[in-house]
Amino acid sequence: MCGIAGILTKNQYQEQLEPTIQRMQIALRHRGPDDAGIFIAPERQAALAHTRLSILDLSSAGHQPMSTPDGRYWITFNGEIYNFQQLRRDLINQGEKFNSQTDTEVILKLYQRLGTVCVQYLRGMFAFAIWDDVEKTCFLARDPLGIKPLYYWQSGSTFIFASELRAILASRLPAVNLSMQGLYGYLVTGSVPEPHTLIEGVHCLNAGHHLHWQAGSFTQKQYWQVDFTPQQITLEQARKQVRNALIDSIKHHFVSDVPVGVFLSGGIDSSAVVALARQTQTGVLKTYSIAFEESAWNEGEISSKIAHTFETEHTEHIITSALGKSLFSQFIETIDQPSIDGFNTFCVSQVAHNDSTKVVLSGLGGDELFGGYKAFQQIPKMLRWGQQFHKFSPISNSLGKALAHWGKSPKQKRLGDFLQQKPTTAAAYRSFRGIFSQTEAGKITQHYLKQLPTPVSGWQQDIINNTAISQNPPSVEDEVSLLELSQYMRNQLLRDSDVMSMAWGLELRVPFVDRVLLETIASIPSAMRLAPSKQLLIEAIPELPSYLLNRPKRGFSFPFQQWIDQEWSDYFPVHELNKNIDLNLWYRRWSLVILDYWLQQVTN
């Protein structure tokens, strides 16, 4: 895992390449404390930067930016390619020679031979850029499921990119103006929806896309998307298919030249990772968890029990309200873009870092693939009665407007939004997963931008369309799965996991979020794959103990409501918007306070 940055230009800023790329590199130093490098193209049309966290081939042969022997192609790469050893063997059989044992060199050789189609062969998480010093072009790509971020900004003939938004801003090239679309999307969903960011003009390359830059202009193309077309299969075949695919993914995600640990939250997904790791790995397996003094939130006992069952070397760290508060200022400095999540990953990543671990696996993604969220049951219900209401659209619209403006709870206000729209799965999802209603988000956007947005104007509709489903999954449950994968997981869970783990020089891997795994199980009909309580996943892993399975499902979270109302209250003062908008729920107050702290950082 690393940090990457670059500047591409035809005739602008060429005299400023060195200081600009150096500032961008410094902003990414935390992502790669082991090594750093910069490449400036001879004709000064490109500058690439890299900061390295050494995971594969710890020697100097892994230094980046890396080039082909003839100096034509140069790469800066962030991520891990889990099938690189097989690809390397195939390339050697075709006559290629290698100077390192890195996956970076494999990507470079593949691109040299195959061009842009190389991304179809890569299994892993990645964001990379390859400069062609002969054609004066650059190829940038992001992994299919969006595990690794890649931000960019274009003005005139100049294009800059980086692993984090903070590095784009460190270039001092973009003006620091809030993006209306990004801000509104953040307020509605709790995270900034790609391709937007909170900075106007700065975008995120969509997952499963690549980008080609030449002579000051660029084009984007999608190269991958999930296909949920069902195939006939028995339940027993489905169980075997899931188990084999998971074991295969776990094996690949343990590819490393340094020890690999596991985040163990005490839930089914992280326990499944530990259980299958014990099927594929020998020797010491380290696991990490955090616990709380508050018994209603504490998962420490079950995590320790799972660790004992599977004989792991377990480290548990108790986060008290006071300790959490002492870490909060450091957490704020770590934020790349605000969200209503991330503090949990920040804390458990510190635990692994303090134990000198550099790579960990997480159970993130299991709920999205196997129907673990309440959304899989509630959204189809919302859709059914929404369709019934829509038959009487004047009544539905009037009731929706009344709820949106006069609803007593945030949930009622978001339900009002849903009743005023065409009853689609995406509309129900926005209502179910939302933070602020569309009316509230419009008022807050007006507060921060001092502009008067009109109801469902072009920029609001852009966000709404961005949440819609461009594909046509075979069932409502498949639609929910696709939305969870492409919205909540990608924009919030994966992005926060990347930033917060890298803040501690830690590489976080997600074996459930694997292209090959998803392609293997996506054809299992939703009635099986998304059966309530993740039944298919549980049946595929009989090693999971009954004491875990018989517990009621509890999503892992912090006692934030209690902490914010009491000991953390000085970090969360009464917001000036509280007069007109209900901010009693912790995640609503958190979203605005974190936004304010972030704005102070980027504007100072």
3-state secondary structure 126-157: EEEEEEECCCCEEEEEECCCCCCCCEEEEECC
Task: Identify the pLDDT of residue 495.
Answer: 97
Identity at 243, one-letter amino acid code: R
The candidate with the shortest Cα–Cα distance to 263, out of 359, 377, 192, is: 359
Q: How far apart are CA 1 and CA 50, in angstroms?
A: 11
DSSP letter assigned to residue 121: G
The candidate with the shortest Cα–Cα distance to 268, out of 375, 364, 164, 381, is: 364
Per-residue pLDDT reduced to its tens digit, 81-128: 999 999 999 999 999 999 999 999 999 999 999 999 999 999 999 999
Average pLDDT over all residues of the chain: 90
Structure tokens at 400: 């929706």
List, in sequence order, every beta strand (DSSP E) within 461-589: 507-509
The candidate with the shortest Cα–Cα distance to 403, out of 419, 379, 380, 422, is: 419
Q: How far apart are CA 590 and CA 588, in angstroms?
A: 5
Task: Identify the pLDDT of residue 456.
Answer: 47
The predicted model gives 365-385 an average pLDDT of 94
DSSP letter assigned to residue 120: G
Task: Identify the pLDDT of residue 282.
Answer: 83
Q: Considering the entire predicted model, what is its pTM?
A: 0.94
Cβ-based burial of 221 (10 A; exposed 0-12, middle 13-18, buried ≥19): exposed
Identity at 244, one-letter amino acid code: N
Cβ atoms 262, 360 nearer than 8 A: yes
Task: Identify the pLDDT of residue 412.
Answer: 86
- The separation between CA 382 and the C-alpha centre of its own chain, rounded to angstroms, equals 27
pLDDT at 488 over 80: yes
Per-residue pLDDT reduced to its tens digit, 530-558: 999 999 999 999 999 999 998 766 555 67
Query: Percentage of the chain with pLDDT > 70?
Result: 93
List, in sequence order, every beta strand (DSSP E) within 500-581: 507-509
Per-residue pLDDT reduced to its tens digit, 326-364: 999 999 999 999 999 999 999 999 999 999 999 999 999
Q: Assign 462 a pLDDT band (cuts: 50, 70, 90).
A: low
Task: Identify the pLDDT of residue 452.
Answer: 54
Task: Identify the pLDDT of residue 11.
Answer: 78
pLDDT at 371 over 90: yes
Cβ-based burial of 577 (10 A; exposed 0-12, middle 13-18, buried ≥19): middle
Contacts of 277 (CB under 8 A, 6+ apart): 250, 254, 262, 285, 310, 361
N-term to C-term CA, the chain = 29
The candidate with the shortest Cα–Cα distance to 303, out of 558, 536, 547, 542, is: 547
In this predicted structure, which of 86-100, 461-475, 552-566 has the lowest mean pLDDT? 461-475
DSSP letter assigned to residue 96: -
* Residue recorded with tokens 């809030």: 178
The predicted model gives 183-199 an average pLDDT of 95
Main-chain dihedrals φ then ψ at residue 172, nearest 5 degrees: 65, 20
Main-chain dihedrals φ then ψ at residue 571, nearest 5 degrees: -80, -20
Cβ atoms 20, 6 nearer than 8 A: no
For the CA atoms of 428, 552, 324, 184, the dihedral, rounded to the nearest 10 degrees, stands at 0
Cβ atoms 162, 6 nearer than 8 A: yes
Cβ atoms 151, 161 nearer than 8 A: yes
Which residues form the catalytic set?
2
DSSP letter assigned to residue 71: S
Structure tokens at 141: 């790509």
- SS3 label, residue 379: helix
Cβ atoms 292, 558 nearer than 8 A: yes
pLDDT at 12 over 80: no
Q: How far apart are CA 13 and CA 520, in angstroms?
A: 47
Give the count of alpha carbons within 13 A of 227, CB side only.
9
